[in-house]
């Protein structure tokens, strides 16, 4: 796996990798991460990946992180942990 870029963003760490014919877009926030795999054949260049990472996409991912936190906390609460 080869790291291509770290894409600065205020709300999440975004890292772009190339691996096995795919671009991997990894978003991290606290203890959570999301990884999206996009075939290199679906894009014309690495620049297209940057286009995918528009504000709407990143904001949806940030909302998903909030849902992940809520799901984990709910599981802790259900089991008294």
pLDDT, position 29: 97
Q: Which residues does residue 37 pair with via DSSP β-bridges, in sequence order? A: 24
**Mean pLDDT, the chain, integer:** 96
Residues of the domain holding 41: 2-79
Structurally, the chain folds into a number of domains equal to: 1
pLDDT, position 77: 97
14-45 pLDDT, tens digit each: 999 999 999 999 999 999 999 999 999 999 99
Q: What pTM does this model have?
A: 0.91
Report CA 40 to chain centroid distance, whole Å.
Answer: 17
pLDDT, position 65: 98
Angle subtended at Cα 50 by Cα 47 and Cα 51, rounded to the nearest 5 degrees: 95
Report the C-alpha gap between 33 and 13 in whole angstroms. 9
């Amino acid at each position: 796996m080869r790291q291509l870029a770290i894409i600065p963003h205020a709300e999440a760490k975004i890292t772009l990798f190339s691996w096995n014919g795919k671009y991997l877009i990894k978003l991290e926030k606290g203890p959570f991460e999301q990884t999206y795999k996009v075939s290199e054949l679906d894009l014309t260049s690495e620049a297209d990946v940057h286009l995918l990472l528009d504000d709407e996409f990143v904001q949806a991912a940030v909302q998903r992180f909030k849902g992940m936190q809520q799901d984990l906390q709910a599981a802790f609460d259900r089991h008294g942990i």
